Chain A
Amino acid sequence: MSAGPPAAPVGARLPRLEDPRLVSGRGCFVDDLQLPGMLHLDILRSPHAHARIHAIDAAAARALPGVAAVYTGTGLAQFLRVLPSAGGMEGFNAPEHHALAIERVRFVGEGVAAVLATDRYVARDARELIRVSYEVLPAVADPEAALAPDAPLLHEALGTNRAFEMRIGSDVREALERAAHVVRGRFVNQRIVPNTMETRGAVAHFEPWDERLTVWLSTQAPHLMRREFARFLAFPEHRLRVIAPDVGGAFGAKNNPYAEELLAAALALKHRAPVKWIEERQEHMLVTSHARAQTVELHAGVREDGTLLALHYRLVADMGAYYHAITHIGPMMTAALMTGAYRIPYAATDIVSVFTNTTPTDPYRGFGRAEAAYFIERTMDLIARELGLDAVELRRRNLIRRDEFPFATPTGHVHESGDFQLCLERALERFDYEGARREQARLRATGRCIGIGLTTHAWRAGFPSVPGGKGYVISGWEKTSVSIDPGGTVRAVIGTSPHGQGIVTTTAQIVAGELRIAPRDVRIIHGDTDAVTQGNGTMGSRSLVVGGSATLLAARQLRDKAVRLAAHLLRVPAERVTLEAGVFSDCGDPARRVTLAAVAAHAFAGPQDLPEGLEPGLEATAFFEAPNFTSCFGTHACVVEVEPQTGEVRILRYVAVDDIGRAINPMIVEGQLHGGLAQGIGQALMEEASYDAAGQPLAASFLDYATPRATDLPRFEVELTETPSTVNPLGARGIGEAGTVAAPPAVVNAVLDALAPLGVRHLDMPLTPHKVWRAIREADA
């Protein structure tokens, strides 16, 4: 252990401990693994959105030198189960989903045949030699169209394209009837693709000597995958090891036990050879979960004074062709948070979830909450406009006040604590809202098309356990073990599985803060189910909020034991022992000291000289589960300029003020905000996984799916407030998803504010130059 730690590791802008390996090209991602005798898995995919498979001729592929095997769905069904999913909740229509299609394909990209070969080039050659005879069937890609009585049926056995229907919230009819104004609208939160920079991938290896299967997986939840892989393979879970090596982004999309990954594991078992599968970018666009894909028709009842009385959504949620792991939760989360940061006494969502001939949807950064924020924040702007109120003033009148927490909404969510006005007022000051409006008026007078948009968003993070269907439990607890070994090495073993969030660094900061040592002296272990026995992974802005709280509790327990030991060695009462810079001393006589390392060594020296009742060793484990989600909130404000001749939108200024509860490392927090804002702006202006009427994807590569580049984004002005959360010992709130939650409505509100003088009431995302240009032209006409 080195001396001289920083005064307070918690709250420091500490450069990340993860970085030296990654910046120098010494990371280890799944595709970096090479095992002797490894076979490469390649998947032939359906070019049709909906078709019957009449025959598959793989003779030429099988005959190619280097090809170990070719499988079809029918062949696999003889030894494989259906894919796991939570989508089979009580009362839900749940179609069977197989690793490869059997008899019928239901979206473009669905796997039809699998090739195993000694080389990735040979596997590709073989794939191209497989001949499939299809009978193309009518397809339906639009969820509203899929609800029509004569729509093509995806799953004939279900007899309907409806996945499930559900009502969440209170009665709203009477309140809407007595409202002074009823504002109506229809908003689409479009389908997008997560597009992690590292695509998905797996390497599976069966070791016959001890009958163990190891799967290296680009995942955000290795323990969940261990459970689901064991169930799918009917393989003993205790003989299965899942390792998440370096993971190149996940954003919610590496949370699902996917067909190809399960197949790699199954074929490694069957062939007794290591199997590697690496997703191509085009495959990522076609088969990794898509996201959002929700549409609401809304009725908002407003009193004369602009306060909201009632809100109703009819929400159509596009599941895609099948459920992935937790597809169904998206619309339920949207409904639960539909009232946003506002006091709306009556609110309800009627959910209609639909199967379509498209890629299945599942979480993406902000899952359910980004959709909710977009709908309510657009609704607020629509109301402000129809009532002739300023967008800020309308929000001020409706925001939940700081003395109203905990605040229960009519849709079953409880905002645990917060200070929504704090972020609003700070953002307005930083943004100089009044000044910005004056400048807008001045520039408008010169013919420039300037808009101002804002959000006062509220969302939630760090979920508690939720029941799942068919035993697909989604647990909300997290676990950390902190230990010091006899040699003085401090370790924290964490159940989350970070992949860019900087959790190695922030965990080290938390432990170092408790033990008064330098963060670089804390070794963090994560991502390997052999080294980390339990955990729930990194998702839903939970790693710091829930995992960090478990770390804090474990580190405190460890410190308490170390203090008792130090007191014993110093022969003073524990109350007299202080800990600074890795050294315990007697506060009455600071010359009497013993190092943390010496205390650790003593803890393992045997029971002869331990305080009564104290076990040997220096290790503590804590589980933590929050009683409720944390409330996350903030205010974002931006200025945009629309170029009327081209429809191009430029963001001139973007101010984000979010409450973090407690910032362990403000630099990392700001980075999380930046990244989320980039993705949110991407959704607002550029990104869309669109399909034509026949179910053909129109954007299936980076050539035609636009994620933001450096030239597409402004500089962000980010500010944090710290109002401690009441539901975890850190007081942290979660920040990972703030940007994707807030940026889409902030930017869209700004663009529509810019277009307001032309009479444009609403445009659906993405606000591409073409869409904006056309709206301007139509408004002119």
Chain B
Amino acid sequence: MKISLHVNSRPVEAEVEPRLLLVHFLRERLRLTGTHIGCDTSQCGACTVHLDGCAVKSCTLLAVQADGCEVITIEGLAPEGTLHPLQAAFQEHHALQCGFCTPGIVMVAHGLLGRDSAPGEAEIRAALEGNRCRCTGYQNIVDAIRCACERVREGT
């Protein structure tokens, strides 16, 4: 099937098998390998991307479902060579260790940032319910997200 969509603001056209998962399309056809696969049951959230502004699990969508949509992946969050305030806060707060779950968590946090400019600890933890991290114990992730929200709110 032929699909056309925007990925990280660039137009993309491709011929795909109907059963091709969006995550495989992004990783293997477009070589956007920052979106990871951590499970096969939509539990871990490592594959989270934005589809028309909503954080979605790209392992649970077919590529054809993204036809006509705007997809943003972790690679599209900030201009090449720069860090989005969220990404910078993750580094400052030691919010990643192995880094495998990180892109998905950053994308979820980015969605939260769009909805709530001053989330509290409980809201941040609840927003992360669909993501699993095995390294950090989440505390520094929570702190990084809170810090990034503050900075974005204050426009710094």
* Inter-subunit contact B91/A20 (CB<8 Å): yes
CA distance A667 to B140 in the complex (A): 10
Of the residues B77, B125, B129, contact of A24 by C-beta under 8 Å: B77
Given A24-B74, A709-B128, A713-B137: A15 in contact with B98 (beta carbons within 8 A): no
For A25, the chain B residues whose CB sits under 8 A away are 32-35, 73-75, 103
Q: Which residues A1-45 have CB closer than 8 A to chain B?
A: 15-16, 18-20, 22-29, 31-32, 34
* Inter-subunit contact B91/A674 (CB<8 Å): no
Q: Does B61 contact A (CB under 8 A)?
A: no
Given A675-B97, A675-B135, A710-B129: A23 in contact with B40 (beta carbons within 8 A): no
For B77, the chain A residues whose CB sits under 8 A away are 24
CA distance A739 to B137 in the complex (A): 10
For B137, the chain A residues whose CB sits under 8 A away are 674-678, 708, 713, 716, 739
For A671, the chain B residues whose CB sits under 8 A away are 94, 97, 135-136, 140
Q: Does A334 contact B (CB under 8 A)?
A: no
Q: Does B58 contact A (CB under 8 A)?
A: no
Report the nearest B residue to A194, measured CB to CB: B134
Q: Does A501 contact B (CB under 8 A)?
A: yes
Q: Which residues A672-691 have CB closer than 8 A to chain B?
A: 674-679
* Inter-subunit contact A713/B33 (CB<8 Å): no
For B35, the chain A residues whose CB sits under 8 A away are 25
A735 → B minimal CB distance (Å): 13
Given A15-B91, A24-B74, A32-B27: A675 in contact with B96 (beta carbons within 8 A): no
A219-251 toward B: CB 8 Å interface, digit per residue (1/0)? 000000000000000000000000000111101
* Inter-subunit contact B124/A500 (CB<8 Å): no
A186-219 toward B: CB 8 Å interface, digit per residue (1/0)? 0000000001111100000000000000000000
* Inter-subunit contact A24/B139 (CB<8 Å): no
For B19, the chain A residues whose CB sits under 8 A away are 121
Q: Which residues B45-102 have CB closer than 8 A to chain A?
A: 46, 73-75, 77-78, 83, 87, 90-92, 94, 96-102
* Inter-subunit contact A29/B36 (CB<8 Å): yes
Given A28-B33, A34-B28: A23 in contact with B102 (beta carbons within 8 A): yes
For A120, the chain B residues whose CB sits under 8 A away are 24
* Inter-subunit contact A710/B135 (CB<8 Å): no
Q: Does B41 contact A (CB under 8 A)?
A: yes
Q: Is the interface of B mostly helix, strand, loop or mixed?
A: loop
Q: Does B126 contact A (CB under 8 A)?
A: yes
Report the nearest B residue to A501, measured CB to CB: B97
For B101, the chain A residues whose CB sits under 8 A away are 197, 248
B17 → A minimal CB distance (Å): 7
CA distance A156 to B137 in the complex (A): 44
For B121, the chain A residues whose CB sits under 8 A away are 715
Given A27-B99, A500-B99: A197 in contact with B132 (beta carbons within 8 A): yes
* Inter-subunit contact A678/B136 (CB<8 Å): yes
Of the residues A28, A198, A679, A739, contact of B98 by C-beta under 8 Å: A198
Q: Does A707 contact B (CB under 8 A)?
A: yes
CA distance A670 to B128 in the complex (A): 21
For B147, the chain A residues whose CB sits under 8 A away are none
* Inter-subunit contact B140/A281 (CB<8 Å): no
Q: Does A702 contact B (CB under 8 A)?
A: yes
Given A707-B132, A710-B141: A24 in contact with B34 (beta carbons within 8 A): yes
Of the residues A16, A18, A702, A739, contact of B132 by C-beta under 8 Å: A702
Report the nearest B residue to A195, measured CB to CB: B134
Report the nearest A residue to B136, measured CB to CB: A675
B35 → A minimal CB distance (Å): 7
Q: List 13 A-B contacts (CB under 8 A).
A: A15-B94, A25-B75, A28-B33, A29-B36, A249-B98, A249-B135, A281-B39, A667-B94, A709-B129, A710-B125, A710-B128, A710-B129, A713-B137
Closest 10 CB pairs of A and B: A25-B34, A248-B100, A22-B99, A500-B98, A25-B74, A702-B43, A674-B137, A500-B97, A678-B137, A32-B33
